[in-house]
Structure 1
Amino acid sequence: MGMSAASAGGIGRGGRGHRRRGRHHGLMSEINVTPMVDVMLVLLIIFMVAAPLLTVGVPIDLPETKAKPMNADTQPIMITIGATGEIHLQETEIPIDELVAKLQAISKTGYDERIFIRGDKATSYGAAMKVMGLIQDAGYKNIGLISLQEQDQ
């Protein structure tokens, strides 16, 4: 009357209590690229929205000329003269008496730094010449004026 453990409760290998597992699947070696594509599309949208905001942020109405665009390798220093005569160095409004000191502080190549002046159509010629005169008197020689290219009609 001795029962063995295998036949008594079905605990052993061939009994009813043994759960048969399904086939063991190997590790999945494929890369799911859907999350990466989603992230890349979100980044693309962010950069498309942010790119126009990276330009000089002082809104002015530039005059138009027939001059050809210049090829520029490095980013020049931008000075903007608004319609009411306010002066912006890059995007920061500054008084005209601080212009030369701030220019000297941010110039990386000294007096060889390229400086572009943007003036609104409504800016007086005298205001633009005053700014250019200050910059030239300080020793800067690469001064240019920015305008829009005229559209053929």
Structure 2
Amino acid sequence: MYKRVRRRIVAEINVVPYIDVMLVLLIVFMISTPLITQGVKVDLPQADAEPLDEQSKTPLVASIDAQGRYYLTVGANEKEPMSAEEVAILVKAHLAIEPGTPVLVNGDGAVSYNAVIQLMVLLQTVAGVPSIGLMTDSIGE
């Protein structure tokens, strides 16, 4: 006669399927996280803001007035109003001649936030500006 073999009951949890699920979730989150975050890269100061050094290069100042007109100022040389694309092209040309020149955005308080962001995006994409500063008035002024 045949001898019946008794199998011993295994009381362990098989974690292989859980590891597979966790790996899939990890991959999904790794792919979806960069798609969720949107914004413009801005180098924020780590301490209180201070005025620019006297020894630094004269900054390029891209301005938007209350009527939404764009200007580009190099030092004290302010020009006539122009389109945002013209500002970006002029900034790109200036940075090709003098790389490392600081670029600042000066927006009127009445201008929409969207207009300032659109100018910053244009300066980054068209002109290739790596870092853009935002101009403000002093608290006492």
For Structure 1 versus Structure 2, the TM-score category normalised by the shorter chain is 0.5 to 0.7
Unaligned ranges ≥5, structure 2: 1-47
Q: 2:133 aligns with which of 139, 144, 150?
A: 144
The aligned residue for residue 70 of structure 1 is 52
Q: Which amino acid aligns with 1:101?
A: I
Of structures 1 and 2, the larger Rg is shown by 1
Does residue 128 (structure 1) correspond to residue 110 (structure 2)? The answer is no
1:80 aligns with 2:63: yes
| CA displacement, residues 4-31 of structure 1 (integer Å, 9 cap, x when unaligned) | xxxxxxxxxxxxxxxxxxxxxxxxxxxx
Q: Structure 1-normalised TM-score?
A: 0.50
Match for 1:95 among 42, 61, 83? 83
Q: One-letter code of the match for 1:82?
A: D
- Which runs of at least 4 in structure 1 moved beyond 6 Å after TM superposition? none
SS of the aligned residue for 1:134 comes to helix
Percentage of pairs with the same residue: 27
Cα-to-partner distance string for 1:34-69 (whole Å, 9 max, x where unaligned)? xxxxxxxxxxxxxxxxxxxxxxxxxxxxxxxx7332
**Contact 1:113/1:140, CA 8 A, preserved across alignment:** no
- Number of equivalent positions: 86
RMSD of the alignment, in Å?
Answer: 2.0
What code does the residue aligned with 2:108 have? D
